[in-house]
Amino acid sequence: MGSSIKGRVFASAAGLACCLGGLQAYANASTVAGIVIQKARQFGFRAVTLQAGGSIVLSNEEATAVHHAYIEADGIRRDFGDQAPGSRTTLVFSQRGDFLVLCGVHPKMTLAVHVD
């Protein structure tokens, strides 16, 4: 897949986010990444669904706030480090299951990820 195609997919997913505000943007996701915006100390989605092997991209669109995404699940802890303003971080989900992405800086930020 070329980068231009990927860029269009990103734009499409971001566009849907404003209208549907939920899972639908990811309904057909397989290994295609979708963007989840981090802004106003919240994730742009409360929950996303994707297929195993798929990924999402966290896009920190804060002016100054740093986020720090991590996952805790049964026997799994993954830390994605700091997300500086303007940065993007890719989270790959290779295992099926339900995961909760949390922010080490802002405890109220939660993003549920269901991996089929």
Q: How far apart are CB 115 and Cu ion at their closest, in Å?
A: 22
Measuring CA to CA, which residue among 79, 74, 71, 69 is closest to residue 100? 71
Nearest to 110, CA basis, from 48, 24, 19, 27: 48
CA angle in degrees (0–180, nearest 5) for 101-89-80: 50
Residue 39 interacts with Cu ion (CB under 5 A): yes or no: no
Give the total of residues touching Cu ion (CB under 5 A).
5
Q: Which is nearer to Cu ion, 67 or 101 (CB)?
A: 67
67 binds Cu ion (CB under 5 A): yes
With contacts defined by CB under 5 A, name the span among 9-17, 19-27, 29-37, 66-74 that binds Cu ion. Answer: 66-74
Amino acid at 66: V
Q: With respect to Cu ion, which residue has the nearer C-beta, 88 or 106?
A: 106
Among positions 23, 71, 105, 112, the unique one binding Cu ion when judged by CB under 5 A: 105
Binding to Cu ion by residue 78, rule CB under 5 A? no
Write the DSSP assignment of 9-44 as a string of letters: HHHHHHHHHHHH-SGGGGTT-SS--EEEEEETTEES
- Tell me which residues touch Cu ion (CB under 5 A): 67, 103, 105-106, 109
